């Protein structure tokens, strides 16, 4: 058969592992965050398929909370969001902001769709100008300043050198760009009280003053200096700083009910985790003392016990680094994951059967990731894997079905 004649594969029907997404939790979280950051405006970050929660689900849930500004990292994500929003007045966004692209990126689609673009280098400005000329319309841009994180953005000396070039754009490409924002990203806002955050804000304020002077000098040809949007706050800054600095807060993680602070739970922040990762028991069997579990036999049971085989492995996004450390829940009881987590499955040690032992059978539901009560939290999985909860949810694989529910 000609490969081009094969039907497209868009899902994996019948997958055992499911990510159940509570859309009402996303809506409630977005409302709570928006109220907390006021008068700043919430820009919901929906990059990486809404942190693994599903773009369409997250956007609908955020719109239900009144959110009209969205942010993504990449150009394909921006265009996917444009297509999702379409012309539906109930979904239409006021702002889609995209900030991560390279010199080879074609920005013309973003320009035609009205996507706002972050500009971090002089070369990026040239790209945006070309895209605007191709699209026949102005592109709204946000200059990004590196105030200390060391990632994308103009360093203060680079910005000083760039601003005269920006001013010349008004003459060499009139009407091509409109500067609407100035942005940065905090390096350590999750360490509440760290002086580095105040230092970054001071650098940002100096950059704002310089940019405002440039816009004023061009007579508004590059944008209204009085309407310039300044934004820096991410999830930890939005939930800890008072007042929240700037006009917008770009919040991703906490919209999905996850805590950005070590030692602080989502519940303590008034948030509700939106993702519950569940699977099923495939088989239960009795094994003698000394029996090994999984590749490498890194675990051998000390006494006769029961092993349960559970669908779900690192191909589904369950971190192999959590092997011999993680737990999952069945019927409200936690059991250790023993041996190495494999590509598609893992083994639990249920303990010996008999009187008083919790009954576990094939087909029972297994909560791999819950809210810390229904099952281990994403934060617990992060600790077991020596990583952060951001990675735990965003790494959930494409073959895991996202099932939307409303558990309000």
Could you tell me which of 165, 168, 163, 195 has the C-alpha nearest to residue 182? 163
Contact 181, 143 (CB under 8 A): yes
Q: Is the pLDDT of residue 407 over 80?
A: no
Q: pLDDT tens-digit profile of 178-188? A: 999 999 999 99
Backbone angles phi, psi at 251, to 5 degrees: -115, 125
Residue 5: the pLDDT is 53
CATH for the stretch 275-376: 2.40.37.10
Q: Is the pLDDT of residue 3 over 50?
A: no
Q: pLDDT tens-digit profile of 281-296? A: 999 999 999 999 999 9
Residue 408: the pLDDT is 62
CA distance 106 to 103: 9
DSSP 190-233: TSTT-HHHHHHHHHHHHHHHHHHHHHHHTTTTT--GGG-EEEEE
Per-domain residue ranges of the chain: 23-265, 275-376
Rg of the Cα atoms in the chain: 25
Strands 365-369 and 275-287: antiparallel
Residue 13: the pLDDT is 60
DSSP 26-56: HHHHHHHHHHHHTTSEEEEE-HHHHHTT-HH
Q: Is the pLDDT of residue 14 over 70?
A: no
Q: pLDDT tens-digit profile of 297-342? A: 999 999 999 999 999 999 999 999 999 999 999 999 999 999 999 9
Backbone angles phi, psi at 42, to 5 degrees: -80, 125
What is the average pLDDT score of the chain? 94
Q: Is the pLDDT of residue 6 over 80?
A: no
Q: pLDDT tens-digit profile of 165-224? A: 999 999 999 999 999 999 999 999 999 999 999 999 999 999 999 999 999 999 999 999
Backbone angles phi, psi at 318, to 5 degrees: -80, 120
Residue 52: the pLDDT is 96
For residue 300, the cross-strand partners are 292
Backbone angles phi, psi at 29, to 5 degrees: -65, -45
Residue 9: the pLDDT is 45
Q: Which of 11-15, 70-74, 160-164, 257-261 has the lowest mean pLDDT?
A: 11-15
Q: 383: which residues sit within 8 A by CB, 6+ positions away?
A: none
A 10 A CB-CB count for 349 gives 20
Contact 231, 37 (CB under 8 A): no
CATH for the stretch 23-265: 3.20.20.10
Q: Tell me the mean pLDDT in the region 359-382.
A: 96
Contact 76, 38 (CB under 8 A): no
Band of residue 374 on the pLDDT scale cut at 50, 70, 90: very high
Q: Tell me the mean pLDDT in the region 39-55.
A: 97
CA distance 248 to 29: 17
Q: Tell me the mean pLDDT in the region 378-397.
A: 96
The catalytic residues are 47, 295
Q: Is the pLDDT of residue 124 over 60?
A: yes
Element holding 394 (H helix, E strand): helix 389-394
Q: Is the pTM of this model over 0.85?
A: yes
Residue 359: the pLDDT is 87
A 10 A CB-CB count for 280 gives 16
Residue 15: the pLDDT is 80
Q: Which residue has the tokens 């991410």?
A: 234
Write the secondary structure of 99-127 as one string of H (helix), E (strand) and C (coil).
Answer: EECCCCCCCHHHHHHCCEEEECCHHHHHH
- Runs of H (alpha helix) within 136-180: 156-172
C-alpha distances in Å from residue 189, one per residue of 194, 202, 388: 7, 14, 15
Q: Which residue has the tokens 């102005």?
A: 138
Residue 4: the pLDDT is 47
Contact 97, 70 (CB under 8 A): yes
Give me the percent of the chain exceeding a pLDDT of 70: 95
Residue 130: the pLDDT is 97
Residue 281: the pLDDT is 97
């Amino acid at each position: 058969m000609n490969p081009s004649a094969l039907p497209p594969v868009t899902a994996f029907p019948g997958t055992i592992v499911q990510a159940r997404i509570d859309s009402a939790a996303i809506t409630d979280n977005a409302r709570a965050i928006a109220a907390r950051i006021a008068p700043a405006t919430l820009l919901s970050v929906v990059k990486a398929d809404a942190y693994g929660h599903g773009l369409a689900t997250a956007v609908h849930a955020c719109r239900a909370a009144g959110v009209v500004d969205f942010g993504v990292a990449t150009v394909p994500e921006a265009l996917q969001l444009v297509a999702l929003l379409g012309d539906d007045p109930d979904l239409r966004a006021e702002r889609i902001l995209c900030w991560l692209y390279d010199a080879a990126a074609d920005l013309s689609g973003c320009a035609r769709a009205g996507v706002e673009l972050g500009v971090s280098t002089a070369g990026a400005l040239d790209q945006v100008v070309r895209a605007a000329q191709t699209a026949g319309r102005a592109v709204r841009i946000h200059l990004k300043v590196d105030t200390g994180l060391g990632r994308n953005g103009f360093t203060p000396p680079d910005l000083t050198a760039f601003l005269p070039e920006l001013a010349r754009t008004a003459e060499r490409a009139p009407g091509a760009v409109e500067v609407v924002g100035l942005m940065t990203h905090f390096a350590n806002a999750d360490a509440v009280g760290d002086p580095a955050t105040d230092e970054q804000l001071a650098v940002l304020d100096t950059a704002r003053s310089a940019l405002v002077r440039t816009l004023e000098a061009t007579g508004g040809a590059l944008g209204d200096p009085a309407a310039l949007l300044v934004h820096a706050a991410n999830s930890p800054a939005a939930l800890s700083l008072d007042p929240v600095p700037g006009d917008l807060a770009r919040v991703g993680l906490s919209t999905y009910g996850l805590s950005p602070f070590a030692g602080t739970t989502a519940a303590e922040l008034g948030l509700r985790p939106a993702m519950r990762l569940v699977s099923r028991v495939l088989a239960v069997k009795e094994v003698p003392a000394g029996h090994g579990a999984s590749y490498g036999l890194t675990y051998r049971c000390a006494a006769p016990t029961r092993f349960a085989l559970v669908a779900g492995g690192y191909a589904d996004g369950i971190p192999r680094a959590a092997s011999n450390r993680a737990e999952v829940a069945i019927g409200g009881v936690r059991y250790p994951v023993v041996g190495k987590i494999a590509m598609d499955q893992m083994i639990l040690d249920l303990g010996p059967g008999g009187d008083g032992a919790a009954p576990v059978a094939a087909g029972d539901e297994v909560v791999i990731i819950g809210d810390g009560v229904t099952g281990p939290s994403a934060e617990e999985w992060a600790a077991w894997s020596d990583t952060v909860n951001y990675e735990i949810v965003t790494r959930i694989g494409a073959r895991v079905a996202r099932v939307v529910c409303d558990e309000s």
